[in-house]
Amino acid sequence: MITAIGEMMRECYSRGWITTRDGNCSLRRKESKFVYITPSGWRKNLIYPELMVRMTLTPDKTLKIPEGAHPSGELHMHYLILKDAPATRAIVHTHPTHVIAAMYRGFDLQFVATQFPEIFRYTRVGPTVPPIAATTRELGEATAKALGVSGSSMAFDIVGQSNHGVCAVGDHPWSAFEHIERLDHICEILLASGVTPEEVRDRKVLK
Ligand SMILES: [Zn+2]
């Protein structure tokens, strides 16, 4: 699964969802004390298992970072989503072009997702996080809240982060990737259709 993180990040890069040093991914296996996360500032198209930062989650839920390691700047976001996970959880943060364009244009991602079975059958889209500076604790907290993280439960699979990106959660790095893929695809369709955010608001909910 650690190897899959590198493969998945390379696919994100080849799709243009991240520029070379952007994006991050973390993983915690069921009941494991280890949390793996991509290193900060490293070229994400060159992530191999030995480059992943392995941290230890202590019984009091503190993260111990190995000396000299440089975990992703979005660590707090990953920590809040992983610390009480009851099962294996992988978290992926990327900057998918069509999703960011749709948010910037004023579309409500949660409502848009009610229009296309391609997404609402498989992916729960949460409320969009307002514009908050990257790598801040505030962004981490707002993202975990939008995902509906409460103790061990979670209400949604993916949320948009205005003017920035998305955060997706799955039981495997590729499951989180698929949530991003579906959301980006329907946003591409939406933008190609030429419909305005105002017109979409009047559409019938199909979900
Ligand atoms: Zn980002």
What is the chain's percent helix, strand, coil content, to nearest 5?
40, 20, 40
**Rounded distance between C-alpha atoms, residue 85 and residue 75, angstroms:** 16
Residue 105 alpha carbon to ligand 1 centre in Å: 19
List Cβ neighbours of 196 (8 Å cut-off, separation of 6 or more): none
Residue 85 alpha carbon to ligand 1 centre in Å: 22
Domain total of the chain? 1
Residue 205 alpha carbon to ligand 1 centre in Å: 31
The per-residue pLDDT for 91 is 98
Residue 34 alpha carbon to ligand 1 centre in Å: 23
The per-residue pLDDT for 75 is 97
Q: What is the mean pLDDT of residues 26-40?
A: 96
Residue 196 burial class via C-beta count within 10 angstroms: exposed 0-12, middle 13-18, buried 19 and up: exposed
In a domain, 151, yes or no: yes
Residue 146 alpha carbon to ligand 1 centre in Å: 16
Q: What is the mean pLDDT of residues 176-201?
A: 97
Residue 168 alpha carbon to ligand 1 centre in Å: 12
In a domain, 23, yes or no: yes
Element holding 79 (H helix, E strand): helix 75-82
In a domain, 207, yes or no: no
Within 13 A of 48's CA, how many CA atoms are on the CB side?
2
C-alpha to C-alpha distances, 133 to 38, 96, 142, 162, nearest whole angstrom: 20, 17, 11, 10
Residue 15 alpha carbon to ligand 1 centre in Å: 16
In a domain, 94, yes or no: yes
Q: What is the mean pLDDT of residues 58-64?
A: 95
Bridge partners, residue 8, by sequence: none
In a domain, 85, yes or no: yes
Specify whether the CB–CB gap between 71 and 65 falls below 8 A.
yes
The per-residue pLDDT for 190 is 96
In a domain, 111, yes or no: yes
The per-residue pLDDT for 111 is 96
Query: Residue 169: pLDDT above 80?
Result: yes
Ion ligand 1: residues, CB < 5 A: 165
55: tokens are 């941290």
* Interval 127-163: pLDDT, tens: 999 999 999 999 999 999 999 999 999 999 999 999 9
The per-residue pLDDT for 202 is 87
List Cβ neighbours of 194 (8 Å cut-off, separation of 6 or more): none
Residue 93 alpha carbon to ligand 1 centre in Å: 6
Q: What is the CATH number of the domain that holds 55?
A: 3.40.225.10
In a domain, 206, yes or no: no
Average pLDDT, the chain: 95
Q: What is the mean pLDDT of residues 172-177?
A: 98
Residue 134 alpha carbon to ligand 1 centre in Å: 6
The per-residue pLDDT for 24 is 96
* Interval 66-121: pLDDT, tens: 999 999 999 999 999 999 999 999 999 999 999 999 999 999 999 999 999 999 99
In a domain, 149, yes or no: yes
Domain that holds residue 95: 2-201
The per-residue pLDDT for 141 is 98
